[in-house]
Structure 1
Amino acid sequence: MNMSYTTEERGKRNTLSYRVFFKISGGKYISPFHDIPMYADEAQNFFNMVVEVPRWTNAKMEIATKDALNPIKQDVKKGKLRYVANVFPHKGYIWNYGAIPQTWEDPGHKDTETGCCGDNDPIDVCEIGNKVCSIGEVIKVKVLGTLALIDEGETDWKVIAINVEDPEANAFNSIDDVRRLKPGYLEATVDWFRRYKVPDGKPENQFAFNGEFKDKDFAINIIKSTNDYWKALVSKISDGELNCTNTCVSHSPFMCTKEAAQAVVDATPPCGNADPVPSDVDKMYYYEKK
């Protein structure tokens, strides 16, 4: 099923009111978490990826898992919008960052591989292609491997993937191809995740498997398992205290009408002019690696 997705901005960018809602043809609103299929092409193992954060940007945009229809909004900590710091030599996010829909890292499930429970979010993707994507873009990706971040005691898989439309995509079929064709990128990825919270006063993050990347088959099995947890969530078998309102999952007790979905969007402020990004977001942090 090849759907075309469009987005609708509400509120003002760089403020607490900003939201990006998703629609399919015919103007029906959908949830990017629940209504976009996990697979873009199951036979070829291509997955859909919802882009939350374009490469080189700092605003921590994410699918709002606890809001009706799960629009993308900026993460908030202590009442303030959250931006990731530039930890030298990185500028913002160093890949297009996003999530695979219809996946869920169940906080009630202890991962047999890592010994830690899930982080209550869809599975994260770092897309390493050449194009800088935009917020809310839905792209097809080829999975290449995964890194197991342990974030404040929770398992937080980071899937490495490439946009299948990328001019170089055919050359990338394994994590070793990334190592060979984009030297330093995997090491930079580990470094980024290890240190990105240090400017906020947090300790360095830890990894399972000593920060080694697991291969494509391993990554795909992890994604499939998180799809099973999502099915339980959206069928009300599991409870992650997340908002499962959807308009397309026919077996789900949370499915709502087109009119109810429209009402959710109508209750948010209309799109206005963006506020400026705070100047300190451009600051570069330097510190000695441990």
Structure 2
Amino acid sequence: MIILKCVIYFKTSGSVLQTLHLAVAEFLRPLSLLYHALTLVPPPEALKDPSVQEFEPLCRYLGFMPTLVDFLSGSCVEKLFVLWSSALGNISKGDLIKQPVLKNVFVKLPEDFSELINSVANFRCPSVSINDRSASSPSLCLICGLLLCSQSYCCQRTINGVTIGACSRHVTSCTGPSGGIFLRIRDSQVVLLTSRERGCLYSAPYVDRYGETDPGFRRGNPLYLNHELFAKLENLWITQSVAEEVINQYELDHRNLGFEWAHF
């Protein structure tokens, strides 16, 4: 009854009622697919017409009441809400979840590669007291923005009998099993690392005026951010495809087997 009163009250707000309709419909879609797979009962023709509101046809197909008020009423639904609310305990003020949830994105990179080079000009290894900037190899975590000293003995640590570098150690705390993506700034290369001591090298998302990358920064031509390459790297992280891409690169280039990726 409490839920029924809330739904009737929310009818005065069209946006809230529409949000409830969309949320319930999103739940009913996969449920109807499962129902069809188990029973082979054909769906109604209304669901095949994209111009028809799908809420009522979905409810009728699954045997539910076709109105939102009837759908959320009943002692069974109310018991579920009481059970869920009991998990909150005596919390008087909780953190509100912002809607819609913002999409995860990489750290912002400058358009000009020279700006990125200049930003790390004064970087030195945090593990060495001497002011030797030439020996450090700054690598930027594209996920959190932390600047690390990679593939150098100074920042290697031994954990459980295995010697790992700064980037490999950072993966365990930043992204975990999904893998990490690091930009080796002075080499103009991207390193993909997984939690299983595997990895591969990518060209940095910077190209010259001819659209060519410069791995190792050997030519030294002015480079500019290529948003398409940057989005491709970002999509690997968002879709948790870093480990899959590393395996694919192993099949394409067997030289990856020769690197000690744990030392990166």
Q: TM-score, normalised by structure 2?
A: 0.23
Greater RCO between the two (CA within 8 Å, min separation 6)?
1
Larger CA Rg, structure 1 vs 2: 2
Q: TM-score, normalised by structure 1?
A: 0.21
